[in-house]
Amino acid sequence: MSKRGELVRFYNCYILRDSKIIKEDLWLRDGKIENPEQIFYVEQLEPCRNIDCKNALIAPGFIDIQINGGCGIDFSYDCENVENGIGIVAKELLAHGVTSFCPTMITSCKEKYAKILPRIKKSQGGKHGATVLGVHLEGPFISLAKKGAHLGEYIRNPDKGIESIKEVYGSLDNVVLVTLAPELPGGTEAIRGLTNMGIKVALGHSTASLAESEEAVRNGANLITHLFNAMLPFHHRDPGLVGLLASTTKGQVYYGIISDGIHTHPAALRIACRTNPKGLILVSDAIAAQGLRDGQYRIGPQAITVQDGRAYVTGTNTLCGSTTALDGCVLTFKKSIDCSLEYALEVASLHPAEALGIDDRKGKLNYGYDADLVFLNLETLKVQSTWIAGECVYAKS
C-alpha cells in the first residue's frame, strides 16, 4: 500500500488521454493522477517509486452500470447474504478491469426491495473489490408487453409519480439509476421526481413512442436501457425509443448496449454507433452465471437456463441477461464495428461516467482524477492488472 504523500511514476507505458493513446509517463499520489509539470517545476520532487509497465496500455478503469450478479450470485434474490454476495462479485470484477459498478436489481416484490436495498451501500473500492457507485433499479415500473425476463405479477404503474416509486422501493438512499417505461400512467411525474432527487433515469422495457420518449428526456431522463432489447423495433413512421439516438431534444442521450455477440447483431451495433457515437455505453447485463458453466440459475424470482453461454428464462426462448463480463464486451464490440481502440475503451469508461454525472473524477486519466486504472496488453487487450485509488488491487499471475 502506498504511504500518504508517496509519489509514484509509471514509465514505459502508453496511456489513453483526451481520446488519444500516447506514450507518456503517468504520475500518481494519494489516489489521484498528478501533473508532472507541477512536480518538476514547482515542488521539484523525485518519485518515491518507479514502476516499469513494459509497454502496457493504461486506460481508465471500466465502469459497469448494469450488472445483475455473477459467481453464482443474483443481486435480486438472496435477501440473507446481500453484503457477502456484493463483495464476492465486486472482487471478481477486478480481474475484468472493472473498478466501479452499479449492482442491478430487476423487478421484485416490495418485500425484496425492503430487505435488499438498504444493504447495498455505496462504498469505495480496494483490494476487497470494485467501487459500488449505487444501485440500478430495473423495474417494476415497466411495460407488461415488453417485460422480457421480468415477472409480470410484480410489474406496477407509477400512477402517483414519485410517491409510487417510494412506496415500492422504500429508501432510495443507495440508488443512483432507475429504469422505467415513460408511457406508463404517472411516468413523467416519476421521472421528474427522481431527477429532482439527483437519481438518473433510464428508459427501457417500454412501448413508448418517440414523442413520449422525448417528453421523458425533457423531464430529466438521459439514458436508454439495453438499446434494441425490450422495446418497440424501429419503425420509419414512429421510431420509438430507438429514435432518441437521432432526436433533436436538448442534451446528450446515452444508451446501454450489450455487446456479448448474442444480444445485439454487429450491424445493429454499427447503426447505433454511427448515429450517436457519443451516447454509446457498453454494459455487461451479467447474471449469476457469468464466469460459470452452463446450467440452472436465477435472476430475481425467475428460474433461468444457460445453454452454450446463452441465458434464457427456463422453458422459453426469452433471453435474460448475459454471461459475458465487461472486458469481453469491449473485445467483441471492437471486433464487431472495427472502431478505434480509443473509442472501444471510452465506451466502457468515459461514457458511463458522463451518463452518471461522475466524469469530473472518473472515466479519464486527467490530472486530479481518481487513479482508477486498468493495465491492458496492447496487442490482445487482455487485462494485466487493475488499480483503484492508485493501489494495485488485481494482477494477473
Single out the residue of 301, 303, 333, 300 nearest to residue 318, CA to CA.
Answer: 303
Find cell 433461468 and name the residue. 304
Please give the DSSP secondary-structure letter assigned to residue 155. Answer: -
Q: Rounded to an integer, what distance in angstroms lies between the CA atom of residue 249 and that of residue 236?
A: 18
List Cα–Cα distances, 347 to 63, 252, 341, in angstroms.
Answer: 9, 14, 10
Verify whether residue 238 is a known catalytic residue.
no
Query: What is the Cα–Cα distance from 121 to 135, expressed in whole angstroms?
Result: 8
DSSP summary character for residue 153: G
From 64, 74, 260, 285, active-site residue? 285
Phi and psi dihedrals of 88, rounded to 5?
-65, -45
Type of residue numbered 101: F
CB 222 within 8 Å of CB 355: yes
**C-alpha distance across the termini of the chain, in Å:** 19
SS3 323: coil
| Cα separation, 221 vs 199, whole angstroms | 10
Residues recognised as catalytic: 285
